[in-house]
Amino acid sequence: MTIRIAPSILSADFANLERELGRIATADMVHVDVMDNHFVPNLTIGLPVVTRLQQVSPVPLDVHLMVSDADTNAPKYAETGAASVTFHIEAATDPVATAAAIRSNGARAAVAVKPGTDIAPVLDHLDAYDMVLLMTVEPGFGGQAFMPQVMPKLAAARAAVAASGLDVWLEVDGGIALDTVEEAVSNGADTLVAGSAVYGGDPAERIAGLRAAASRVA
């Protein structure tokens, strides 16, 4: 199983984002959290900043939209050239159509589920998505503790992907660090979002450490 590390710039220095992107050049992607202070109780960045990040980033953008009205908003972010755009199923009226619109705009289409959200509707339409993001914290803020109770849902998603034969990535976001990465990967995750676990020290060393820990159980 191929492991991908996607550092979250939610833990980066927002006054120096281009520099902060350069510090994670050894990562597979950069996780860009877009929050609207409506779907989640926090406000980060929007479309103009994501557009500019796409122009300067040394690694592909993995845009995670924690915003309302995903049906309207998600396709717009795909137009920036981002490699992947994730929207929350809780914020979409027609998630399959929204995913199709993201794909038509040139990005991989991904859907996210909160810890308490039933994943069955996603698994029923796996062919509509290129990635499924399982939140291992409540979305909205960085630095929260990993929620192991999400692991059975992750394992069920891995089993469904394996049975389907589709190339659907499984991403986890929230509390990923050296002491949780093996549990996430052993339950089926192949794409790992880490914020403070990367930016809390030397990013290149932290990325290498996470990759090594994940590879032990991949």
Cα–Cα dist 30/6, whole Å: 5
> What are the CA-CA distances from residue 97 to residues 63, 87, 94, 102, 119 (Å)?
18, 12, 6, 9, 18
Strands 61-66 and 30-35, how do they pair?
parallel
pLDDT tens string, the chain, 218 residues long: the values are 899 999 999 999 999 999 999 999 999 999 999 999 999 999 999 999 999 999 999 999 999 999 999 999 999 999 999 999 999 999 999 999 999 999 999 999 999 999 999 999 999 999 999 999 999 998 876 667 899 999 999 999 999 999 999 999 999 999 999 999 999 999 999 999 999 999 999 999 999 999 999 999 98
Q: What is the pLDDT of residue 167?
A: 97
pTM, to two decimals: 0.96
Q: What is the pLDDT of residue 217?
A: 92
Calculate Rg over the CA atoms of the chain: 16
Find residue 98's DSSP bridge partners: none
Task: Write down the residue that tokens 């592909």 correspond to.
Answer: 60
Q: What angle do CA 108, 10, 122 make, to 5 degrees?
A: 35
> Does CATH place domain 4-215 in 3.20.20.70?
yes
Residue 87, φ and ψ in degrees, nearest 5: -120, 160
Rounded to a whole number of angstroms, the distance between the first and last alpha carbons of the chain is: 6
Catalytic-residue membership of 71: no
The ranges assigned to domains in the chain are 4-215
Q: Which residues have a Cβ under 8 Å from the Cβ of 178 and sit 6 or more positions away?
A: 197, 209, 210, 213
State the amino acid at position 181 in one-letter form: V
Find residue 8's DSSP bridge partners: 31
Cα–Cα dist 36/140, whole Å: 10
Residues 28, 62, 173, 190: which is the catalytic one? 173
Cα–Cα dist 130/109, whole Å: 5
Q: Which two tokens stand for residue 45?
A: 């960045």
Give the SS3 label for residue 10.
helix
Cα–Cα dist 207/177, whole Å: 10
Q: Which residues have a Cβ under 8 Å from the Cβ of 179 and sit 6 or more positions away?
A: none
Catalytic-residue membership of 69: no
Q: What is the pLDDT of residue 142?
A: 67
Q: What is the pLDDT of residue 165?
A: 97
Residues 28, 33, 62, 190: which is the catalytic one? 33
Q: What is the pLDDT of residue 37?
A: 94
